[in-house]
Amino acid sequence: MKKVGRLTVVGTGIRLIGQCSAEALDHISNADIVFSVMGNPVAECWLRTLNPNMISLQTHYRDAPDRPAAYRAMAETIVAAVREGKDVCAAFYGHPGVFVGPSHAAVRQLRTEGFDARILPGISAEDCLFADLEVDPAVTGCQSFEASDFFFNKRVFDTSAALILWQIAVLGDDTYSAFEAQPHWLKALAQVLMEHYPADHKVTIYEAATLPTTRPRKEELALRDLGKAAVTQASTLYVPPCGTPTRSSQRVSLLQSCRASYDGD
């Protein structure tokens, strides 16, 4: 009987080895073929010890003209292997469903063709941020945006809740081909944020540790100085709450009226 292919997308976490779940390890070890995007040669070597039939998709970054084209090529490579009847595991660092376009594209395509395809959870950079900065998103609330999306669109946000902006290094890259930040991009972002926060409001440039031997970057600076900060592809901006939320007396009254209506029934 012809073998029916399937796809399981897993995340290996941000920090090598220790953040990879037992479920993900099982799929990596038992797959017919493993496609990986690790961004770290040490991580790729570790994956190959789990499954020698491991193929890195990093080469698509080199061969494609821009990131969207690279992502399409990655998805097509994964889909082609499943069509051949293979049990495929696609392993991405971090959470495989967060800022990982190829994983979603491959799963959608395979499901339309009748194949079994799913994404398993993994430890993301956001999870690491909450731990390293000791932030509890349930206390004040938390808003999360991709930096370019936040900057170019008139996003409505609440300064009394924490704000996380991802991929600040490529905020002004409308060609999807830049790999280094330009200082004027960050200066412009700071000016937009200073329309809502004081210039001396303390923000943090955060980068999660990727190896057990390294430590996370937690660089605190005044918002006005954001344009002077050195950032990388891994940099995230954390903006802590400013002020307190405004309590709604109207909603308090609404809750009381609803309670009274139930008590009367």
| Position 23, amino acid | E
End-to-end CA distance of the chain: 63
Active site residue 71: yes
The catalytic residue among 6, 15, 71, 197 is 71
Q: What are phi and psi of 142, to 5 degrees?
A: -150, 135
- Catalytic pick among 15, 93, 206, 217: 93
Smallest Cα–Cα separation from 165: which of 185, 143, 181?
A: 143
Task: Reply yes or no on whether 67 is catalytic.
Answer: yes
Contact 8, 118 (CB under 8 A): yes
β-strands 202-207, 87-92: how paired? unpaired
Active-site hit among 6, 15, 67, 217: 67
Q: Annotated catalytic, 262?
A: no
State the virtual CA torsion across 31, 37, 39, 45 in degrees, nearest 10: 20
Give 140's contacts (C-beta < 8 A, 6+ positions apart). Answer: 160, 161, 162, 241
Q: Identity (one letter) of the amino acid at 144?
A: S
> Is 94 within 8 Å of 14 (Cβ atoms)?
yes
* Residues with a known catalytic role: 67, 71, 93
